[in-house]
Amino acid sequence: MLKLFTAFLKINIQMTLAYRAETLTHILLNLMWLGWELLSLSIIFGNTATLGGWGPGQLIALLGVFRLVNTLMAALIWPNTEKFNSSIRDGSWDYALLQPVNSLFLVSFSRMVIWRVWDLVLAAILTIVGLSMSGGGTTLLNLLGFLALAVSGMLIIYSLWIVLIALTFWFTKFDNNVTILQALLDAGRYPATVYPLWLRLIVTFVVPIAVATTVPLQALRGDLNGLQVLLYLVIGAASFFFASRIWKAGIRKYSGASS
């Protein structure tokens, strides 16, 4: 698996270097979007001191965590989904199933948007600056909790993607899976506390977007105890377990190009 991942990485890096001007354009556009997001926060806090109990520094830190999770989607999920959807329709998915490697691994990592590494740098800067603005210190234990929950949050988003693309095995023309996931993910742009209780429960436990964005930052701020951190880690693991079962059921449903 590691050798294959390394090979995919090298190929995608070569593709990125072949279009340097396009890569630079994407980075500049990304900076423009970041400026727009910060302007939106400035407008919001020009009219209120807090949003759901969160101050401007905390919202900037949350934006950093959101962009961290969103990078996974933009770097892996978007480019691979289009390829997967078309392969189901034209039958080329048969070749992936014949390979001596896990099919989910192939559909997840064959295409990578390498320049999105820049997003990781911006996400880290936003998180650090936001925490500094809010005046909240952190401990090593809180930092470890944040890292663990950030990985768990990415696993949750990844699991949601697995379920959505697996539906293509049953509904061949299901091309809106990325749009649906992006709409769900946008709910994590703001803290879960801004939503009414019923919606807060949905984005935390039913479609656990908040666990991918708000919760890691809460751990970094020291707002969670050990039992809560463990609970959210279990949610992440359970999400992937459930998604992998759906994926395997979809593989069994797939009949191939010859049928």
Does residue 182 register a pLDDT over 80? no
Which pLDDT score is estimated for 246?
93
What per-residue confidence (pLDDT) applies to 136? 60
What average pLDDT does the segment 180-193 reach?
A: 77
For every residue of 124-169, DSSP letters joined together read HHHHHHHHHHHT----HHHHHHHHHHHHHHHHHHHHHHHHHHHGGG
pLDDT of 244: 92
- Could you read off the pLDDT of 125-150 as tens digits, one per residue? 888 888 888 766 677 888 888 889 98
pLDDT tens digits, residue range 212-258? 888 888 888 788 888 988 988 998 899 899 999 999 998 888 876 55
User: 72-97 pLDDT, tens per residue?
Assistant: 777 877 787 777 877 887 777 888 78
Task: Tell me 206's DSSP state.
Answer: I
Between 6 and 23, the higher pLDDT residue: 6
pLDDT at 61: 86
User: Which range has the worst mean pLDDT, 86-90, 98-102, 131-135, 170-174?
Assistant: 170-174
pLDDT confidence of residue 180 = 73
Answer yes or no: is pLDDT of 12 > 60: yes
Q: What are phi and psi of 53, to 5 degrees?
A: 85, 0
**Distance from C-alpha of 216 to C-alpha of 210, rounded to nearest angstrom:** 9
- What are the CA-CA distances from residue 66 to residues 36, 145, 202 (Å)? 15, 17, 18
Query: Does position 174 have pLDDT exceeding 70, yes or no?
Result: no
Q: Is the pLDDT of residue 259 over 60?
A: no
